[in-house]
Structure 1
Amino acid sequence: MSYKKLSWFFSLFIVFSFQANADGNDLLQKCNKAVQFMDSPPENPDFGSIGFCLGMMQGITNLNSVYEIRLEDEALFCGPEDGINNGQATRIVVKYLKDNPQDLHQHEGVLAIAAFMDAYPCE
């Protein structure tokens, strides 16, 4: 990982650290509700949690695209050329969180980015 990527990643961590109770446990709960809604919508869906999760996925993937374009080859992750839809992004993050329970105390934004970096590493 280049110095620019590493410094941006840690800057993001510092910014995100000011939000209270924004850890991986909370993100996993919200994104599990989004996956459940996509698979089989419940009678009373928690649209707040679902919207939060899908919004975070959209924000991170969009930010990565801007970062890649503006800084030329300095994206944090290198997804497919046709992009990642929010449903796929949500499933990637949920899988990563379930596979790494020892990290759930970390900030949700940092964990979501780590999930994409793990799923779509840059060469």
Structure 2
Amino acid sequence: MNSPNRLSIAACLAFAAIQPVSASPTGEELLRACNAVVKQLDGAELSQEDMASGLWCTGYLSGFVDAVALTPPVVLGQRAVCLPTDGVSGGQLARIVTKWLREHPEHLHESGRTETLLALSWAFPCQ
């Protein structure tokens, strides 16, 4: 018997396996996926599709933050993001990115990478 979590993980892995590695989600795709995480954190019941999207979002953001930690992005000669030393939860990352994208709908057609970097630099600026 398959539990909902196993089905969600399988769906997420299947989706990841067919996505080109170099493909970046748009801001709109990222907002849709990360909104599922926020809904779940706020107590909503999620569909199987939303669960898979939420898993994808947290995986994407986790990988993004790992990359930032390994190779901090530099803009105009200055570090763009200074993550907290005690880490950031996947839920917090999803809330940050979702808030940024909702407040900047004119950028939803643009690269999710760029928008994620902008959201993180807004939330965790370097002093």
- TM-score (structure 2 length as normaliser): 0.70
User: What residue is the counterpart of 1:32 in the other structure?
Assistant: 35
Instruction: Name the count of aligned residue pairs.
Output: 101
**Separation in structure 1 between the aligned mates of residue 108 and residue 46 of structure 2, nearest angstrom:** 29
> Once superposed, which parts of structure 1, at least 4 consecutive aligned residues long, lie more than 3 Å away?
none
Q: Is the 8 A contact 2:34 2:94 kept in 1?
A: yes
SS at match of 1:51: helix
1:116 is displaced (CA, Å) by 0.1
Structure 1 residue 24 displacement after superposition: 0.9
RMSD over aligned Cα, in angstroms?
A: 2.1
Q: Which residue is equivalent to 2:59?
A: 55
User: Helix, strand or coil: the match of 1:92?
Assistant: helix
How many percent of aligned residue pairs carry the same amino acid? 30
Question: Residue 47 of structure 1: CA displacement?
Answer: 2.2
Residue 23 in 1 paired to residue 31 in 2?
A: no
Change (3 A) 1:43 1:90: closer
Stretch moving more, 109-118 or 38-47: 38-47
Unaligned 5+ segments in structure 1 are 1-15, 69-73
Length-normalised TM-score, structure 1: 0.72
Change (3 A) 1:43 1:67: closer
